Structure 1
Amino acid sequence: MKKTLLTLGLVGILLAGAGAPAGAISDDGATPLPGTGAKVLVNAWHCNVFADKCSFKTSTKTTKGGAKYKVGKISNTATVKANGWQATLALSPSGTQVSENTRQVSWTNKNTWIADISGIADPGGSLNTSITTCSDGGAFTAGVKAFASACAND
């Protein structure tokens, strides 16, 4: 039994090294950018296990055939929510307070292919059980626009 648990633990460590950070919860979404052959891709992730604070990251990217695709304007809004009874949330960067347990941070870039946001969520209150991180993104170029969303939920 001990050998099995040790083996499973080692496999878990090896698998955690690939892709998203160890213990991360993530989601992504995509939509075509009309008339360009490009896609708007959004991603949201946050830590899964935390004792005090939790890191998060959101991004909006535009690609065409897997390569970077520059647009006139690209934006990303991160919405982070602490879930639980009487939950509160502090965020770095502080962003805009939506409610006691929800904050939003937005970023817009011009003449590039990416807009991303990262920070630290500090949930408080009684019995917080999880964090939800959502990414809403949009791209605008040559008179067309497209939007996509993703939400990482525990």
Structure 2
Amino acid sequence: MKRTLLTSGLVVVLLTGTAAPATALSDTGSTPLPGTGATVQVNAWQCNAYADKCSFKTSTKAMKGGAKYKVSKITNVATVKASGWQATLSLSPSGTYVSENTRQVSWTNENTWIADISGIADPGGSLNTSIITCSDGGAFKSGVKAFASACAND
């Protein structure tokens, strides 16, 4: 519910109820899984604006005709990078150290249709630091495999 209060020419907006979700940046990539009719779909999401920390999420999904498609093995690798002058990055979950400003987190599942990762990025450095979240994923079934990538950035 939105209420507006006029006081001496000043407009004050009071909001009650649940706050609307913040907007996110996202990207999607996909590729066919040969001979199956299925598609490997990779997604990357991250916060659009942040003052201190930024949430991120990545996923790899196997889909067929809009439905979940079970594969032998499915993997997702999230790469989060802070860029800017003297940029640094810490991540939760901590992930694998790639460089002072880049971390990777990976997840593999068997006999299912999805592998996903989510966490919080904490960039440091200059005020002009930006974040990019990339998702690389692959799926394997019946001797065939396919890989896809996606990157969301501010």
Residues 123 and 129, structure 2, Cα contact 8 Å, conserved in 1? no
Give the Cα–Cα distance (whole angstroms) in 2 for the partners of residues 68 and 152 of structure 1.
Answer: 24
The answer for unaligned runs of 5 or more in structure 1 is: 1-16
Divergent runs of 4+, >3 A: none
Residues 26 and 45, structure 2, Cα contact 8 Å, conserved in 1? yes
Give the Cα–Cα distance (whole angstroms) in 2 for the partners of residues 39 and 152 of structure 1.
Answer: 20
**One-letter code of the match for 1:44?**
A
User: Which one has the bigger strand percentage?
Assistant: 2
The equivalent of 1:6 in structure 2 is: none
Counting only pairs closer than 5 Å after superposition, residues 15-30 of structure 1 correspond to structure 2 as: 22-30=22-30
Residues 30 and 149, structure 1, Cα contact 8 Å, conserved in 2? yes
Counting only pairs closer than 5 Å after superposition, residues 49-64 of structure 1 correspond to structure 2 as: 49-64=49-64
Counting only pairs closer than 5 Å after superposition, residues 9-48 of structure 1 correspond to structure 2 as: 22-48=22-48
Aligned residues: 135
Radius of gyration: which is bigger?
A: 2
The equivalent of 1:116 in structure 2 is: 116
Residues 82 and 102, structure 1, Cα contact 8 Å, conserved in 2? yes
Give the Cα–Cα distance (whole angstroms) in 2 for the partners of residues 98 and 110 of structure 1.
Answer: 26
CA shift for structure 1 position 129 = 3.0
Residues 87 and 127, structure 1, Cα contact 8 Å, conserved in 2? no
CA shift for structure 1 position 64 = 0.3
Residues 86 and 126, structure 2, Cα contact 8 Å, conserved in 1? yes
Residues 82 and 128, structure 1, Cα contact 8 Å, conserved in 2? no
Instruction: Return the TM-score normalized by structure 1.
Output: 0.85
Give the root-mean-square deviation of aligned CA atoms: 1.0
The answer for unaligned runs of 5 or more in structure 2 is: 1-19
Give the Cα–Cα distance (whole angstroms) in 1 for the partners of residues 28 and 128 of structure 2.
Answer: 24
Q: Secondary structure at the match of 1:85?
A: coil
Note the alpha carbon deviations across 1:114-134, whole angstroms, 9 max, x for none.
000000000001234311000
Counting only pairs closer than 5 Å after superposition, residues 36-115 of structure 1 correspond to structure 2 as: 36-115=36-115
User: Which one has the bigger helix percentage?
Assistant: 1
Residues 61 and 115, structure 2, Cα contact 8 Å, conserved in 1? yes
Q: Secondary structure at the match of 2:129?
A: strand
